[in-house]
Amino acid sequence: KNQVEQSPQSLIILEGKNCTLQCNYTVSPFSNLRWYKQDTGRGPVSLTIMTFSENTKSNGRYTATLDADTKQSSLHITASQLSDSASYICVVSDGGSYIPTFGRGTSLIVHP
Amino acid sequence: GAVVSQHPSWVICKSGTSVKIECRSLDFQATTMFWYRQFPKQSLMLMATSNEGSKATYEQGVEKDKFLINHASLTLSTLTVTSAHPEDSSFYICSASADGNTEAFFGQGTRLTVV
């Protein structure tokens, strides 16, 4: 069964600090891995999408890494801002059916 | 990124009535659309996958006769919650993809409250 596990479940940091969110998956065959940011009561917004051959991809203060051998990904947020407070969701798509499997998300709270 | 519009953003309905939610891809043709529901502090749960012109594929445990999905065109999919009950109250979100393998873009979600 395809699974996506995220850690930590929740995280509280001070404004300006960096943080790293983790995603482990068992989806096979692998198609792509995406990180989304979801504000409360809103639809998810894409941050990065990575395919098998990509190791690192950045989008502003967000940097995602992918290790396809160990089936792990991380999302690093640099110089956090109050607006970064949201749920961050890791989504891995099956290369056969293309159906995405969602992680439970990491709830990030940035305090001033 | 591409724009996916969901309508309405929120709706309140009485028990026993039906509610239709629309999902439109505004600037691209979406061969595949996904429908999700999300309970508070939970992750998105895939309900069904629909391909344009075909019947939707429902996930295990999702009643296809209760959650009617229509994907008649490349830019529009609808989800109709029939005979709604209070336990159907949830956040419903759609996503659209050009071909099922490329990035899927999400709508803003619909908050359904059944009273």
Q: Of A32, A42, A102, which has the smallest distance from its Cβ to B43's Cβ? A: A102
The model's pLDDT over B41-82, given as tens digits with 9 standing for 90+, comes to: 788 888 999 988 888 999 999 999 999 999 889 999 999 999
The pLDDT score that the predictor gives to residue A43 is 87
Q: Note whether A12 and A109 are within 8 A (CB).
A: yes
Strands (E), chain B: 4-7, 10-13, 19-25, 32-38, 45-51, 57-58, 67-73, 76-81, 90-97, 105-106, 110-114
The pLDDT score that the predictor gives to residue B111 is 95
Q: Of A42, A93, A99, which has the smallest distance from its Cβ to B109's Cβ? A: A42
The pLDDT score that the predictor gives to residue B43 is 82
The pLDDT score that the predictor gives to residue A101 is 87
pLDDT at B90 over 80: yes
Which DSSP string corresponds to A36-96?
A: EEE-TTS--EEEEEEETT--EEEETTEEEEEETTTTEEEEEE-S--GGG-EEEEEEEEETT
The pLDDT score that the predictor gives to residue B1 is 61
Q: Find the chain B residues whose C-beta atoms sit closer than 8 A to any C-beta of A.
A: 1, 4, 6, 32, 34, 41-46, 49, 91, 93, 95, 97, 100-101, 103-109, 111
The model's pLDDT over A28-82, given as tens digits with 9 standing for 90+, comes to: 888 889 999 999 888 889 899 898 889 999 999 999 999 999 999 999 999 999 9
A89 touches chain B (CB under 8 A): yes
